[in-house]
């Protein structure tokens, strides 16, 4: 663990203040107005989530009120600024669809009670150029071990071409702004609003087991290269990518300091650091998947049985595998989807 333990659990007030801080960090000034992020994903340690679960709707309601109040304060400015007759800054406008806040359980093993991680999104206006697409600003703020940090990134979503080729880059998941109670296995998949906030993980790379390469633009179907057992295409926070599987077994997930992954995904914490293992049987050439995640894996829409069980708080691997068809759509926590195709299928 790379940060000191937080002795105090997160309070509802601290969560609201962190949401407001995230909004301030994500402001985007234009010439006549300033835009604020509209979508907020708030991740809490399971202990904090369990303790606050009953008042999550109230936290969401008061967070929206606090965001409105902060906008009013920022737009009003200080008395000193008004007396100095400083040049008026562009007013901050609230999101057209209102504030959309979702509070979820953080499934990362390395988080502590009191840690608050927030990912927010701001959709920026698209350029008038044909095919230019729109840009999404993603803001990440963290309070880990009492220390506050923030980061920002910009992801371009490319518009399809007239003949239907091309696809939007970024993740196909969505974030709900309902603000209902969240947590457990059902809390990870957030749906209802196009686009999803990306996590801070590295861009996917293949080490000794394959190579992931960016493929922005046309979403052409890739074929397995010479020596590859299968090819996997997907969209994550880094755009459209292709991974050639050249090992008999690979690990897929967000990875991390103490987690080895062959295919590393840049996405939300809903996806586990080690989400699933994909194995090829050398004798039959068939593929098998072992789900190691907290929030689940699907194969062509069917939920794969979990290989993990918890006995008296101890995590155990039951070594449960399920077959994977020659072509399959593999979903990770309903956040990221991988298009899998074996070499035997061409």
For the segment 27-71, what is each residue's pLDDT rounded down to a tens digit?
Answer: 999 889 999 999 999 999 999 999 999 999 999 999 999 999 999
Q: Work out the average pLDDT over 319-326.
A: 97
At residue 80 the predicted structure's pLDDT band, cuts being 50, 70 and 90, is: low
Beta-carbon contacts of 101 under 8 Å, excluding residues fewer than 6 positions away, are 19, 40, 42, 60, 63, 64, 177, 179
State residue 49's pLDDT score.
Answer: 93
Which of residues 131 and 272 earns the better pLDDT score? 272
At residue 79 the predicted structure's pLDDT band, cuts being 50, 70 and 90, is: low
Q: Is residue 114 within 8 Å of 6, Cβ to Cβ?
A: yes
* Integer CA distances (angstroms), 246 to 73, 231, 252, in order: 56, 9, 14
CB-based contacts of 277-283 (< 8 A; 24+ apart in sequence): 277/249, 277/250, 277/251, 277/252, 278/245, 278/249, 278/250, 278/252, 278/324, 278/340, 279/248, 279/249, 279/321, 280/229, 280/230, 280/245, 280/248, 280/249, 282/248
State residue 179's pLDDT score.
Answer: 36
State residue 271's pLDDT score.
Answer: 93
Residue 23 — left, alpha, or beta (φ > 0 → left; ψ -120 to 50 → alpha)? alpha
At residue 313 the predicted structure's pLDDT band, cuts being 50, 70 and 90, is: confident
Q: Work out the average pLDDT over 188-194.
A: 34
State residue 183's pLDDT score.
Answer: 35
Q: Work out the average pLDDT over 212-218.
A: 41
pLDDT over threshold 90, residue 193:
no
pLDDT over threshold 70, residue 170:
no
At residue 211 the predicted structure's pLDDT band, cuts being 50, 70 and 90, is: very low
User: What is d(CA 297, CA 161) in angstroms, rounded to the nearest whole number?
Assistant: 32
User: What is d(CA 252, CA 291) in angstroms, rounded to the nearest whole number?
Assistant: 10
State residue 175's pLDDT score.
Answer: 35
CB atoms within 10 A of CB 264: 26
Q: Domain-by-domain residue ranges, the chain?
A: 12-187, 212-345
CATH architecture, range 212-345: Sandwich (2.60)
State residue 187's pLDDT score.
Answer: 37
State residue 108's pLDDT score.
Answer: 81
State residue 225's pLDDT score.
Answer: 82
User: What is d(CA 268, CA 265) in angstroms, rounded to the nearest whole number?
Assistant: 9
State residue 198's pLDDT score.
Answer: 36
pLDDT over threshold 50, residue 184:
no
pLDDT over threshold 50, residue 25:
yes
Strands 116-124 and 239-245: unpaired
State residue 185's pLDDT score.
Answer: 34
User: What is d(CA 336, CA 271) in angstroms, rounded to the nearest whole number?
Assistant: 8
pLDDT tens profile 97-115: 899 999 998 888 778 999 9
pLDDT over threshold 90, residue 76:
no
Locus of tokens 């608050």: 116
Of all residues in the chain, the percent with pLDDT exceeding 90 is: 53
């Amino acid at each position: 663990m790379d940060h000191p333990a937080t002795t105090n659990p997160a309070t509802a007030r601290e969560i609201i203040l962190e949401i407001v801080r995230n909004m301030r960090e994500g402001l985007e000034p234009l010439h006549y107005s300033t835009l604020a992020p509209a979508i907020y994903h708030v991740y809490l340690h399971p202990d904090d989530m369990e303790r606050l679960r009953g008042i999550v709707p109230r936290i969401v309601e008061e967070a929206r009120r606090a965001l409105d109040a902060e906008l009013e304060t920022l737009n009003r400015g200080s008395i000193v600024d008004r007396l100095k007759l400083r040049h008026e800054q562009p007013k901050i406008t609230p999101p057209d669809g209102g504030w959309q806040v979702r509070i979820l359980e953080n499934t990362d093993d390395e988080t502590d009670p009191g840690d608050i991680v927030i990912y927010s999104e701001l959709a920026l206006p698209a350029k008038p150029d044909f095919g230019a697409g729109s840009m999404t600003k993603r803001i990440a703020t963290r309070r880990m071990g009492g220390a506050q940090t923030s980061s920002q990134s910009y992801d371009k979503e490319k518009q399809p071409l007239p003949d239907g080729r091309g696809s939007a880059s970024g993740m196909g998941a969505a974030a709900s702004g309902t603000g209902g109670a969240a947590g457990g296995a059902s809390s990870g998949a957030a749906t209802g609003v196009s686009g999803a906030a990306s996590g801070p993980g590295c861009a996917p790379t293949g080490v000794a087991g394959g190579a992931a390469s960016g493929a922005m633009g046309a979403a052409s179907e890739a074929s397995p290269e010479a020596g590859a057992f299968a090819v996997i295409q997907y969209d994550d926070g880094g755009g459209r990518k292709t991974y050639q599987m050249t090992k008999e077994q690979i690990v897929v997930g967000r990875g991390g300091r103490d987690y080895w992954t062959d295919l590393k995904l840049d996405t939300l914490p809903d996806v586990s650091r080690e989400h699933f293992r994909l194995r090829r049987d050398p004798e039959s050439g068939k593929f098998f998947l072992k789900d190691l995640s907290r929030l689940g894996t699907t194969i062509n829409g069917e939920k794969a049985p979990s290989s993990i069980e918890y006995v008296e708080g101890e995590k155990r691997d039951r070594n449960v595998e399920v077959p994977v068809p020659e072509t399959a759509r593999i979903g990770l926590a309903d956040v990221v989807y991988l298009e899998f195709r074996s070499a035997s299928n061409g």
